[in-house]
């Protein structure tokens, strides 16, 4: 049998941390994502500060408060590919069939609304809530919103200004309930009058 020592002739290390170094600790710097860009949180200088810094010597608004579109945020990164006007890879979906996907404007509106909601609804004003609506959930929400509108408006949109099927019955029942509720206090007054007449006798 070979009696060669394990560590090349030296003693085995008693400290396991030297053999297996700890993984790198995550830095405190958070890099912008496409979700931040869609929500309008990214400017030329990075994240838009929550409190605006207003200089006394400026009359115009600073560019650090102006949100960039998502494609500009994406292609400003260091390893971003080169964009060409003839075949822009960011808008390549316009050259393919996207009939099954919801509208991008609808998705932007839904994501902006949800990010603003979470920034107001959470205790820390949404500071640590950066993944409340990921891509698949956003697509599912957009599909549900489009299906709901397609049902209520119709495929051609002709039902946008029309009443629903059961609206007439609902209006009649609500008018009957209001007339009954108006007549109920009068009955109570009559009963009180009758009771007071018996008491006087």
139 and 174 inside one domain: no
Inside any domain, residue 11: no
Per-residue pLDDT, averaged over 164-174, amounts to 56
Is 108 part of a structural domain of the chain?
Answer: yes
Domain assignment of residue 191, given as a range: 168-201
pLDDT score at 198: 53
Query: What does each C-alpha distance from 181 to 94, 155, 170, 185 come to in angstroms?
Result: 58, 41, 16, 7
The answer to the question of residue 78 being in a domain is yes
Record the tokens describing residue 186, joined without a space: 């009068």
Q: Tell me whether residue 9 is in a domain.
A: no
**Cα angle 116, 69, 90; round to 5:** 125
In total, how many domains does the chain have?
3
Note the pLDDT of residue 26: 55
What's the pTM value of the predicted model, to 2 decimals?
0.36
Section 67-96 average pLDDT: 69
pLDDT over 70 at 187, yes or no: no
- Give the three-class secondary structure for 40: coil
- pLDDT greater than 70 at residue 195: no
Let me know whether 149 and 109 are in one domain: yes
Q: Is residue 5 part of a domain?
A: no
Q: Are residues 36 and 51 in the same domain?
A: yes
């Amino acid at each position: 049998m070979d009696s060669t020592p394990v560590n090349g002739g030296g003693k085995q290390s008693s400290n396991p941390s030297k053999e297996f170094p700890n993984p790198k600790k995550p830095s405190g710097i958070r890099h912008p994502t496409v979700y931040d860009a869609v929500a309008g949180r990214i400017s030329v200088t990075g994240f838009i500060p929550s409190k605006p810094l207003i200089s006394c010597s400026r009359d115009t608004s600073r560019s650090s408060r102006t949100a960039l579109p998502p494609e500009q945020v994406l292609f400003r990164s260091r390893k971003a590919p080169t964009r060409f006007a003839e075949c822009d890879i960011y808008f390549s979906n316009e050259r393919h069939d996207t009939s099954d996907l919801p509208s991008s404007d609808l998705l932007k509106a839904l994501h902006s609304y949800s990010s603003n909601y979470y920034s107001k609804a959470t205790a820390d004003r949404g500071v640590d809530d950066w993944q409340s609506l990921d891509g698949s959930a956003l697509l599912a929400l957009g599909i549900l919103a489009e299906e709901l509108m397609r049902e209520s408006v119709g495929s051609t949109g002709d039902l946008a200004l029309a009443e629903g099927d059961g609206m007439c019955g609902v209006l009649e029942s609500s008018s009957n309930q209001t007339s009954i509720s108006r007549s109920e206090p009068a009955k109570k007054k009559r009963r009180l009058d009758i009771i007071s007449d018996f008491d006087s006798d």
